[in-house]
Chains A and B, each alone.
Chain A
Amino acid sequence: MSTRLPNAGRLIDASKQIEFSFNGKRLKGYEGDTLASALLANDQMLVGRSFKYHRPRGIVASGAEEPNALMNMGEGGQFEPNQRATTTELFDGLAAKSQNHWPSLDFDVGAINTHLARFLPAGFYYKMFIHPRPFWKHVYEPIIRKSAGLGRAPKDRDQDRYEHFYTFVDVLVVGGGVAGLQAALAAGQSGANVLLIEQTADWGGRAQVDGGEVDGKPVADWIASTLKALDDLPNVTRRDRLMGAGVYDHGYALGYERVNDHTPSNAGPRHRLWRIRAKQIVTATGAIERPLSFAGNDIPGVMLASAVRDYAVNFGVSVGDRTVVVTNNDDAYLTAIAMKNAGLDVPAILDARASANGDLVQQAIDMGIRLEFGRAIAAVKGGKRVTGVKVCAQIGEGAVLSEIDCEVVAMSGGWSPVVHLWSHCGGKLNWDVEQQMFRPDATRPPTSHDGEAMVTVAGIANGYLDLNNVLQDADQAGKNAAKAAGSKPKTAKAPTASEATISPMEPVWLMPQGAPIKKRMKAWLDFQNDVKVSDVQLAAQEGYESVEHTKRYTTLGMATDQGKLSNINGLAVLSKALNADIPQVGTTTFRPPYTPISMGAIAGEARGKVFQPLRRTPIHDWNMANGADPEPVGQWHRPFAYVEQGETVHEAVNREVLNTRQNLGLLDASTLGKIIVKGPDAGKFLDMMYTNMMSSLKPGKCRYGLVCTENGFLMDDGVVARIDDDTYLCHTTTGGADRIHAHMEEWLQTEWWDWKVYTANVTEQFAQIAVVGPNARKVLEKLGGMDVSKEALPFMTWADGIIGGFDCRAYRISFSGELSYEIAVPASQGQAFWDALIEAGQEFGVMPYGTETLHILRAEKGFIMIGDESDGTVIPQDLNLQWAISKKKEDFLGKRAQLRSHMADPDRWKLVGLETLDGSVLPDGAYVVADGTNANGQRNMIGRVTSTYYSATLDRGIAMGLVLHGPDRMGEVLDIPKTDGTIIKTRIVDPVIYDKDGEKQNV
């Protein structure tokens, strides 16, 4: 039974009791508890089920490395799965639920898998579910999907707020243990701008639990005085609950701050993502204890030795009355000593080594603890809770020598430095044979923009396990980082700690070393993903020699803890199975983030309305207030249609189409790109940009032009107006304004930089309103001002003037086939001018129209739309636009490409009009099919629909499409299948189906 000790731990405030719930059960804890310590204090050892076999799982660790205690946390809009109980600070009202079991944690149907374990080895899924083929989609996948996954996916919208925070520092120190504090102090005293971050709320790291003396005083005193010294330095910033998540190129680092996880009712963001630029980074990230591999090491109650003493010292929690310690190193003796000091029983220390004589060993002997050398655990007894261990010799095959009753097994297989941040950006590792660990190789560091090292590792993370070496190493790391960042470190000496005698550890990768298969099948490496020693050995046997392949085949280290406990042990087993050295086998790649960070923190404030900026035309607010059904176009919201009360969107579109054809329509065309191109070489430049000749355009005239990429493909189109000898105004599509402006600048800056041309994107400087329909001229004449007659302002010309008192530029251009003026006024006058047109237009039947009507009107006229008729693979010749491609010009962008054999191929699909025999509307994107099949056995395709609408003008469906030899096949009837398999018979017609001679626009 696990319980609270009479002496509360150092982090607990026993005067402040708080309530929380686990699987609906109301429980009590104290302020300062983690969820894990509070659960243990309530004798809740069983906290979840493993991924594959649904084995009972208990808490193993006390920190970020915890693989088992993953919870569904919170409710509704604050629900989040897979939260580690060991890093969740307890708060009043916390609601946690365990995961991956059905119907309940105690009785789980999926646990049947554990009895099938023999039949579910590594790679089982790959081997089993491949045949018969159709079974995968219809049988296997649905079942596997149902039983896969740990936590539930959140259903509600996340109700919390998140933010990003940017900072620039000389030295970033990651880790607030003894090494981090000393490194930050050494760097801070040089005057460098230092940021020190710690992932927990507790400073001092393991030293707070494991003790020691610094400069003759208890290490806790040194920690307190160093924190004070750091806070007195104005150039040092110290933040807790802030994890160093990742190190990236050129000194970029991400920090993950859990601002309000422990105080969810507080105002402010829940998480904050720190985007840090540091000249130098010191990682003082400590080490993680390794489990030992023995049969039954996954039974709840088997824990890391360091975690067992953490719960006792920090939280005053006894995991059980009797703790058996099993180890291959001196450090685990600290747990035995701590248990004894807490008044608990330690029936035995099982030390796999033949002998040891370090200070801690001596201390344990002096305390009268039973010590057995050369011993191992043959098996752990118990099901949902440890009840005892069977002891054997480490060198044998597991013959049981004795049995010991106990509730806790505290295991230690040595320590692995946390080298993640060092490795994220390319830092290399060496295998330290003596300490059996990967250590950072300072001669092969991650480098920055100048080719110099940007990361230094300090303390235990650097492979120094004793306190004095940690302090010396961290002091040097802090000084070196400050120096590299441009500051002058002080010559002050580092504090010293008493040096202890430590007996060497011994590698133990399997317990006992000759364990037979039955034991190896129960010796867990990865507790969350259920990977055992036997699985890794099987992978090696089946030829998976690369550690990266073995990882993916067995799923070792692929769980949410990313192998923090399992990787080194798995690697050692693999290297043994391959008969290779550990460094030869190598490690898998360390990738950020160090532990999972929330999607909310990554998104920050970029969600909902501020996900991306909204661009508004001067008439935007009027549009939205007058029934506009908003359609996102680029970053604009354009009215799809103006829907009136009592009508559907479709009815609104039909009304707008008919009214514009018969009376008067207004279109907010302000979003169309407007780029001024100016300079003595402007004409020459536009001749390169456009397929047609722009240098010959006379001032006062307009010309429709096409823009192609250098690959020959159609990129954009629009009307170019020549303003004066040196100046053009180029209209682009709405979505193309920024792209075409950038395209022009690219060529001007990087190819023809000696040409005297300047460009300016003035899209937002003007409101532009299309006045369209038979009554267009009448309304302008009623407003009064400049002469807009056919004679004064003929089709495809423009003029400056005044209309209704507004300074304007009127273009006689038409994208609808009607009499049409596009009138630009300064943006500030846009709404007023629009209001004037609406008012004056009343007697002429004025109605605003939206983008859908714009599309239908242009389609009735056979005008192409960029993005419908073009898709990045279409050239102007495909669209019968040869008339807009100059034959006189020597060169323009795309000219050479359009001569390539594939571009000149007569079998390219070409634009035609499509008319359904039954008048129905074709589905968008539908294909035209022909008899027979292609080489892949698919139905032959000879074309596709590019634009399709219901035309209220003609009361039937209209469409355009690209069809093989289309223009030569006028009148032929094609088959166009719908997704339900039925065929729509469709005739090839001229794409221009309304006012073929252009009589309506040219009046």
Chain B
Amino acid sequence: MLILDCPYCGTSADETELSPGGEAHIKRYGPGSSDTDFEGYLFGRENPKGVHFERWRHANGCGKWFHAARCTMTLEVFGTYAAQTFEPPQEIKDKISAKRPGWSWRDFS
């Protein structure tokens, strides 16, 4: 059972306090977008064995959404960060690079 640090309230939250929200950093496509873009936005998801970026909500806690960078293989957590961003903080990307040299995920590496 995972423990993730909520970047808002600072709690080391047990998985039972959290609810998962799927992949992070998805760009929204609305009216006017092509069928392909919209389909990718609704249904296209990464399923990596390794580094992954996810959305979590501290549902039974402060109620805030945040992002987590972790390894789907070992469940190692590289860091958590606020959801109000378009890409992971450099510090977390550096940490991943140190542990998983040569990693890449969508447009990030």
Q: In the bound complex, do residue B84 and residue A753 qualify as a contact, i.e. CB atoms below 8 Å apart?
A: yes
Q: How far is the CB of A929 from chain B (nearest CB, A)?
A: 33
Q: Is the CB of A895 within 8 A of B57?
A: no
Which residues of chain B are within 8 angstroms of A616 by Cβ–Cβ distance?
A: none
The reply to whether B99 and A451 form a contact with Cβ atoms under 8 Å apart is: yes
Contact (Cβ within 8 A) B1 A248? yes
Closest to B66 in A: A749
Number of interface residues of B (CB under 8 A): 28
How far does the alpha carbon of A248 sit from the alpha carbon of B84 in the complex, in Å? 31
Within B2-29, the residues touching A (CB, 8 Å) are 2-3, 14, 21, 28-29
Whether the pair A750, B83 counts as a contact (CB closer than 8 A) is yes
- A250-B99 in contact (CB<8A): no
In the complex, whether A252 has a CB less than 8 A from a CB of chain B is: yes
Q: Is the CB of A746 within 8 A of B64?
A: no
Q: Does A931 contact B (CB under 8 A)?
A: no
- A465 to B38 Cα, complex, angstroms: 63
Q: Is residue A607 within 8 Å, beta carbon to beta carbon, of the partner chain? A: no
Asked if B75 and A249 make an inter-chain contact with CB atoms under 8 angstroms apart, the answer reads yes
Q: Knowing A450-B76, A890-B31, A895-B31 touch, does A249 contact B2 (C-beta < 8 A)?
A: yes
Smallest Cβ-Cβ distance to A898: which chain B residue: B31
Main DSSP-derived SS at the B contact region? loop
Instruction: Give A819 to B81 CA distance when docked, in angstroms.
Output: 52
**What is the CA–CA distance of A316 and B74 in the complex, to the nearest angstrom?**
49
Chain A nearest CB from B68 CB (Å) reads 10
Question: Is B92 positioned at the interface, with any CB of A under 8 Å from its CB?
Answer: no
- A962-989: CB near B (< 8 Å → 1, else 0) gives 0000000000000000000000000000
Contact between A451 and B1 (Cβ–Cβ < 8 Å)?
no
User: Does A449 sit within 8 A of B, measured CB to CB?
Assistant: yes
Residues of A within 8 A of B83 (CB): 749-750, 753
CB contacts (< 8 Å) of B84 on chain A: these are 749-750, 753
A277 to B38, CA, bound (A): 43
Interface string of A898-912 (1 = CB under 8 A from B): 011000000000000
Contacts of B64 in A (CB 8 A): 749
How far is B1's CA from A249's CA once the two chains are assembled, in angstroms?
A: 5
Establish whether residues A447 and B76, one from each chain, have CB atoms under 8 Å apart when the complex forms: yes
Task: Check if A250 sits within 8 Å of B38, measured CB to CB.
Answer: no
Which residues on A sit within 8 Å (CB–CB) of B30?
A: 891, 895-896
* Alpha-carbon distance A85/B68, docked complex (angstroms): 48
Which A residues, 683 to 711, have Cβ-Cβ distances below 8 Å to chain B? 710-711
Q: Is the CB of A900 within 8 A of B35?
A: yes
Q: Are B28 and A250 within 8 A (Cβ)?
A: no
Interface code B43-82, partner A: CB below 8 Å = 1, 0 otherwise? 0000000000001010100011100000100111100000
| Chain A: CB-nearest residue to B78 | A451
Specify the chain B residue showing the minimal Cβ separation from A425. Answer: B75
Whether B90 is near chain A, meaning CB under 8 Å from some CB there, is no
Report the bound CA distance from A913 to B59 in whole Å: 41
Contact A252 B1 (CB under 8 A): yes
Is the CB of A999 closer than 8 A to any CB of chain B? no
Asked, given contacts A249-B1, A250-B2, A899-B31, whether A451 binds B76 with beta carbons under 8 Å apart, the answer is yes
- B1 contacts A750, C-beta separation under 8 Å: no
Chain A residues 461-503 with CB under 8 Å of chain B are none
**Distance A249 CA – B42 CA, assembled complex (angstroms):** 30
- What is the CA–CA distance of A897 and B28 in the complex, to the nearest angstrom? 12
Q: For A451, what are the chain B residues with a Cβ–Cβ distance below 8 Å?
A: 71, 74, 76, 99
Whether B74 lies near A447 (C-beta < 8 A) is: yes
Residue of B nearest to A890 (CB): B31
Of the candidates B33, B77, B99, the one whose C-beta lies within 8 Å of that of A449 is B77
Q: Using known A-B contacts A249-B2, A451-B74, A751-B28, determine if residue A897 contacts B63 with beta carbons closer than 8 Å.
A: no
Docked CA distance A751–B35 (Å):
21
> Does A764 sit at the interface, judged by CB under 8 A?
no
Compute how far the CA of A250 lies from the CA of B32 in the bound complex, rounded to whole angstroms.
45
Nearest Cβ distance between residue A610 and chain B, in whole angstroms?
Answer: 17
Q: Is the CB of B76 within 8 A of A749?
A: no
Q: Is the CB of B35 within 8 A of A250?
A: no
Closest to B74 in A: A447
State in angstroms the CA–CA spacing of A742 and B84 once bound together.
17
**B contact residues around A710 at 8 Å (CB):** 42
Which residues of the other chain, B, contact A749 by a CB distance below 8 angstroms? 64-65, 83-84
CB B15 to nearest CB in A, in angstroms, measures 8
A452 to chain B, nearest CB (A): 9
Distance of A310 from chain B, by nearest CB (Å): 36
Task: Identify the interface centre among A277, A450, A896: most chain B CB within 10 Å of its CB.
Answer: A896
Q: Which residues of A contact B31 (CB under 8 A)?
A: 890-891, 895-896, 899
> Are A745 and B75 in touch, CB under 8 angstroms?
no
- From A449, which residue of chain B is reached at the shortest CB distance? B77
Which B residues are CB-close (under 8 A) to A751? Answer: 28
Does A750 contact B42, Cβ atoms closer than 8 Å? no
Chain B hits for A899, CB < 8 A: 31
Q: Chain B's nearest CB lies how many Å from the CB of A629?
A: 32
- Give Cα A782–Cα B3 distance, bound, in whole angstroms: 59
Kindly state the separation between the CA atoms of A746 and B64 in the bound complex, as whole angstroms.
9
**Residues of A with C-beta under 8 A to B59:** 742
Q: Are A449 and B42 in contact (CB under 8 A)?
A: no
Interchain CB contact under 8 A, B65 and A746: yes
Supposing A249-B1, A710-B42 touch, asked if A449 and B75 sit within 8 A by C-beta, the answer is: yes
Which residue from chain B places its CB closest to the CB of A712 in the assembled complex?
B42
Distance between Cα atoms of A169 and B77 in the complex (Å): 21
Best-surrounded residue of B55, B59, B74 (most CB of chain A within 10 A):
B74
B80 to chain A, nearest CB (A): 11
User: Of A426, A449, A745, A753, which is within 8 A of B3 by CB?
Assistant: A449
Task: Report A176 CB to chain B, min CB distance, Å.
Answer: 25
Q: Quick one: closest A residue to B21, CB to CB?
A: A746
Q: With the chains together, A714 CA to B35 CA distance in Å? A: 21
CA distance A710 to B64 in the complex (A): 21
Name B83's closest neighbour in chain A (CB-CB). A750
State the CA gap A277–B42 with chains docked (Å): 37
Q: How far is the CA of A749 from the CA of B28 in the complex (A)?
A: 14
CB neighbours (8 Å) of A890 from chain B are 31
Please indicate the chain A residues that have their CB under 8 angstroms from the CB of B71 in the complex: 451
Q: Contact between A897 and B57 (Cβ–Cβ < 8 Å)?
A: no
Q: How far is the CA of A896 from the CA of B28 in the complex (A)?
A: 11
**Within A839-878, which residues are at the interface with B (CB < 8 Å)?**
none
Closest chain B residue to A751 by CB distance?
Answer: B28
Which chain B residues border A426 with CB–CB below 8 Å?
74
**A250-B42 contact given A746-B65, A899-B31, CB 8 Å threshold:** no
B-side contacts of A447, CB under 8 Å: 74-76
- Nearest residue (CB) in A for B39 is A900
Identify B65's interface contact among A249, A750, A900, CB under 8 A.
A750
How many whole Å from A212's CB to the nearest CB in chain B?
Answer: 39
CA of A746 to CA of B1, assembled, Å: 24
Bound-state CA distance A426–B76 (Å) is 13
B14 cross-chain contacts in A, Cβ below 8 A: 277
| A250 B3 Cβ-Cβ under 8 A | yes
- With A451-B99, A751-B28 already in contact, the answer to whether A250 and B65 are too (CB < 8 A) is no
The interface residues of chain B lying within 8 Å CB-to-CB of A745 are 63, 65
A897 touches B42 (CB 8 A): yes
Question: For residue B1, which residue of chain A has the nearest CB?
Answer: A252
- Smallest CB separation, A799 vs chain B (Å): 32
Which residues of chain A have C-beta atoms less than 8 A from B65's C-beta? Answer: 745-746, 749-750
Least Cβ distance of B53 to chain A in Å? 13
A53 CA to B46 CA, complexed, in Å:
50
Q: Which of A252, A750, A751, A895 has the most CB of B within 10 A?
A: A750
Interface positions of B (Cβ within 8 A of A): 1-3, 14, 21, 28-33, 35, 38, 42, 55, 57, 59, 63-65, 71, 74-77, 83-84, 99
Sample 20 A-B pairs with CB under 8 A, ordered by A number. Answer: A250-B3, A252-B1, A277-B14, A449-B77, A451-B74, A451-B99, A710-B42, A745-B65, A746-B65, A749-B64, A751-B28, A753-B83, A891-B31, A895-B30, A896-B30, A896-B33, A897-B38, A899-B31, A900-B35, A900-B38
What 7 A-B pairs are tightest by C-beta distance, nearest first? A451-B76, A753-B84, A252-B1, A749-B65, A449-B77, A250-B3, A896-B31
Contacts A249-B1, A451-B76, A900-B38 given; 9 further ones with Cβ under 8 A? Answer: A249-B2, A249-B75, A250-B75, A447-B74, A451-B71, A451-B74, A710-B42, A746-B21, A749-B83
